[in-house]
């Protein structure tokens, strides 16, 4: 099964209550984007198809909000979740490793996508995509499983990070601005440790 097929099957078979990453409100992401990435004018949320982040960013008044997800079903669920805000969001079905064009965005957000990239070439391709999308002075907010976090998610192996290791992956184009740790509670009450970095485009 390839990546798109894997995620399609997840969203086709699991309700929100069975998605370990599900959040009612993405509070940490919102806070980091608002406070540390200095109120961006355009945000792209990588792998945010089903997330509540995009409509929350619209509510914050961010003029341009783009969502990319490899799963069309995730996007369909996200559109429904976004309600009246859905038409103010640009939804793109695609793989972050293949896409290089996002229009005018100055903040790149990713919670729990980069950590699936266990292949170094794929990680380099991902960083190249972020570097091309974000202009100098813009930001990338990357949330990944911490070293004390789970070793797998959704049946897939993940790579775990601390702030230094995560920043080193992006060091060719971004510098570490801040980092933040969070224990996310799954819908069934299990804690998962995350590390977030706010990186500034050089």
Q: Report if residue 50 touches ligand SAM, rule: CB under 6 A.
A: yes
Sign of torsion over alpha carbons 122, 130, 4, 57: positive
Give me the 8-37 binding string for ligand SAM, x by CB under 6 A, dash otherwise.
-------------x-x--------------
Binding mask 148-167 for ligand SAM (x = CB under 6 A): -----x--------------
Cα separation, 199 vs 202, whole angstroms: 9
Query: Considering the complex, what minimum distance in angstroms separates the CB of residue 13 from ligand SAM?
Result: 13
State the nearest-atom distance from the C-beta of 138 to ligand SAM, in Å. 19
**Residue that is written with structure tokens 């440790």 in the block:** 193
Residue with tokens 């997800």: 69
Confirm or reject binding of residue 71 to ligand SAM (CB under 6 A): yes
Q: Examine residue 3 and tell whether it contacts ligand SAM (CB under 6 A).
A: yes
Instruction: Single out the residue of 202, 155, 148 nearest to residue 175, CA to CA.
Output: 202
Torsion angle, CA of 79/94/117/166, rounded to 10 degrees?
A: -70
68, 98 Cβ separation under 8 angstroms: no
- Does the footprint of ligand SAM cover residue 70 (CB under 6 A)? yes
Give the number of residues in contact with ligand SAM, rule: CB under 6 A. 23
Q: Closest CB to ligand SAM belongs to which residue? A: 47
Report the length, in residues, of the chain.
Answer: 202
Site residues for ligand SAM per CB under 6 A = 3, 7, 21, 23, 46-51, 68-71, 74, 95-97, 111-113, 116, 153
């Amino acid at each position: 099964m390839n990546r798109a097929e894997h995620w399609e099957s997840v969203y086709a078979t699991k309700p929100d209550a069975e998605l370990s990453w599900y959040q009612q409100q993405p509070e940490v992401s919102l806070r980091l984007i608002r406070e540390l990435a200095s109120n961006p004018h355009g945000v792209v949320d990588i792998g945010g198809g089903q997330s509540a982040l995009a409509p929350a960013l619209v509510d914050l008044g961010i003029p341009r909000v783009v969502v990319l997800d490899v799963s069309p079903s995730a996007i369909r669920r996200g559109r429904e979740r976004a309600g009246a805000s859905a038409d103010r969001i640009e939804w793109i079905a695609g793989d972050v490793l293949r896409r290089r064009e996002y229009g005018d965005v100055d903040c790149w957000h990713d919670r729990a996508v980069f950590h699936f990239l266990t292949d170094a070439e794929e990680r380099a391709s991902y960083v190249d995509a972020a570097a091309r999308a974000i202009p100098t002075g813009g930001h990338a907010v990357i949330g990944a499983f911490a070293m004390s976090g789970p070793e797998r998610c959704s049946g897939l192996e993940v790579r775990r990070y601390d702030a230094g290791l995560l920043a080193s992956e992006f060091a060719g184009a971004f510098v570490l601005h801040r980092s933040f740790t969070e224990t996310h509670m799954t819908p069934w009450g299990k804690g998962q440790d995350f590390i977030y970095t706010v990186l500034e485009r050089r």
